[in-house]
Amino acid sequence: MTQRAGIHPSARRPSAFDPPIGCARPAMTDTLSLRPIVGRRRLWELDPHFHCSIVGTCLTMSDLRKLATKTRLSVPADAPDYRLHGVFVRAAGAAGPAEKGIAKLMDKDLERRHTRALAQFRKAADNDALEALWDGAREAGDIPGPYWALMCHPLASRTLLERAFGEVHMLSHLMGAANRADVRRLAEMERETEAVEDRLAEAEARRLREIEIKQGEIGQLRAAIEAERARTRALVRRLEEAGEGGCRDLRIQTLEATMEGLRERLNREAWRADRLQGKLAEAERLLTEVRADRDDLRRRLAEQAEDLRTLEDLALDDDGEAGDRPPLDLGGRTILYVGGRPRTVPSLRKLVEDSNGRFAHHDAGREDGRAHLGEVLSGADIVICPVDCISHDACLKAKRACLKRGTPFVPLSSAGLGAFARCLRETAPLFAPANDGAALAAE
C-alpha cells in the first residue's frame, strides 16, 4: 500500500464516499486511479469502495439468496437481508479462491441481468458519451442496469464513477425520506379526520336536538288545532239543542264570527307547521350529507392505514426483521406504471425489482407520447395507473388498451409509494412465481 511520509493510514480523514457501516471498508490509496483493461472491468477488479452500492443497487435480495444457495454459503436461509448483503460485499473484493469464485458468479449474474444496459453503454466511445448515457438513465429513473454498465466500463473516469456513486447513495436517502413523508401525511390525515369526526358528531347532535324541538312544536300545534275543532263541535251541538228562539240569530252570528277566527288561526298554525316540516326535511338532508362525508373520510383513513402497514412491512423487510406477511414476490412479472410523479419513479422501480419483478414506466404523454403506450403495454403483465396524477383522457385510453389486450388494469387513488406497495401486495397472488429451480438448472 502506498503511504505518504508521516501520515498513518488510521489517521486519514473520512471520505464522503466511505461505504456504510456493515459493509467491507477497503484500504484506500493516495492514488485513486483505475487500471485500464481490455473489455469491461470485472467485479473483483473494481475499487472495493464501490462494491456496497453495486451489490445493493444492481442485485436484488432474491438474486443474492439464489447465489447463496448455489454457492452453498454458510448463511442461514432466514438470515436478515443486511447480513446477506454484507457477506456478498466482502466476497466481491476478497482475494481468496473461495471468495473469488463467489465474485465470478456475482459478475456473471450481473452480466446476465443487465445485458441490455451493457450493450447500450458498450457503444460509448469516450467518457463524455458515458456521462450522457448515465444522465439520461438517471432522469428516466432507470438506475440498476445503467449503474453497473457504467461502473464496469473501461473508459469511465474516476470523477464520473465517484459522481454516479454519490448520486445512487443519495437516491437511497430519498427513498427513505419518501417513506417518512408518507407516514407524516398519514398522521396529519388521522388528526384531521379526528377533528372532522368531532365536528360531525357535534353537528349531528345539534341537528337531532333541533329535530326533536321542531317535532315537539308540531305536536303542540296539532293538539291546539284539534282542541279548537272540539270546542267548535261542542258549540254547534249546543246551538242545535237550544232550538228556535229570539236569541238564535244572535248566537248564529256569534258562532260565525268565532268560526272565522278559528279558521284564520287554523290557517296560521297550518302555515307554521308546513314551515317546520320543510326545516325538518332540510335538516335531515344535511345530516345525510354529513354522514356521507364522514363515511368517505373513514374509507380514506382505512386506505391510508393499509398503505402505512404495507410500508412498515417493507421497512421491516429492508431491516431484516420478520413481518406479519411473507416477502413480496412478483414472480419475474413486468409491472407497467402509467403517469405518476417523476420523482417517485426510482423508488417504485427499486421496490418492484427488489420484489423479483420488472418495472416499466410511461409518463402518459408528457414525453413518451401516447403512441408509444401500445409498445410498452405489449410486454406488461399488469398496468397500474394513479388517477390523481394523470389526465382523465389518458387514463381512459390506457384502460381501453388493457381491455383490448386482456391485460389487468388497476387504478390507484393515490400516486404515493404506500398505495403502490399495497397494490402490489393485493395483485401479487394473480401471478404464479417463476420456476427458480428450472432457471438454475438451465444455468
What pLDDT sits at residue 216? 86
How far, in Å, CA of 123 to CA of 125, rounded? 6
Mean pLDDT across 75-91: 87
DSSP characters over 268-317: HHHHHHHHHHHHHHHHHHHHHHHHHHHHHHHHHHHHHHHHHHHHHHHHHH
> Given a cut of 80, is residue 8 above it in pLDDT?
no
Q: Number of C-alpha atoms within 13 angstroms, CB side, residue 300?
A: 18
pLDDT bin (cut points 50, 70, 90) of residue 244 is low
> Given a cut of 60, is residue 281 above it in pLDDT?
yes
What is the residue whose three cell numbers read 451493457? 118
> Given a cut of 50, is residue 5 above it in pLDDT?
no
> Given a cut of 90, is residue 307 above it in pLDDT?
no
Most confident by average pLDDT, 126-135, 228-237, 406-415: 126-135
> Given a cut of 90, is residue 108 above it in pLDDT?
yes
Mean pLDDT across 273-277: 80
> Given a cut of 50, is residue 21 above it in pLDDT?
no
What pLDDT sits at residue 390? 85
pLDDT bin (cut points 50, 70, 90) of residue 135 is very high
pLDDT bin (cut points 50, 70, 90) of residue 110 is very high
Map out the domains of the chain as residue ranges.
15-178, 181-319, 334-442
Tell me the pLDDT tens digit for each residue of 27-65: 333 333 444 445 789 999 999 989 999 999 999 988 999
Query: pTM (2 decimals)?
Result: 0.42
Mean pLDDT across 134-157: 93
pLDDT bin (cut points 50, 70, 90) of residue 443 is very low
How far, in Å, CA of 54 to CA of 50, rounded? 6
199 or 308: which leads in pLDDT = 199
CATH of domain 334-442: 3.40.50.2300
> Given a cut of 80, is residue 125 above it in pLDDT?
yes
> Given a cut of 70, is residue 378 above it in pLDDT?
yes
Burial of residue 55, with CB atoms counted within 10 A of its CB: 0-12 exposed, 13-18 middle, 19 or more buried: buried
Q: 3-class DSSP state for residue 254? A: helix
Percentage of residues in the chain having pLDDT higher than 90: 28
How far, in Å, CA of 48 to CA of 151, rounded? 12
Mean pLDDT across 311-316: 57
Q: Number of C-alpha atoms within 13 angstroms, CB side, residue 196?
A: 17
> Given a cut of 70, is residue 247 above it in pLDDT?
no
Query: Which set of grid coordinates corresponds to residue 228?
Result: 279548537
Most confident by average pLDDT, 194-208, 316-330, 342-356: 342-356
Mean pLDDT, the chain, rounded, equals 78
Mean pLDDT across 222-248: 73
How far, in Å, CA of 436 to CA of 442, rounded? 10
How far, in Å, CA of 239 to CA of 136, rounded? 105
Domain spanning 181-319, CATH architecture? Orthogonal Bundle (1.10)
80 Cβ contact list (under 8 Å, min separation 6): 319, 320, 321
Closest by CA position to 385, among listed 365, 357, 355: 365
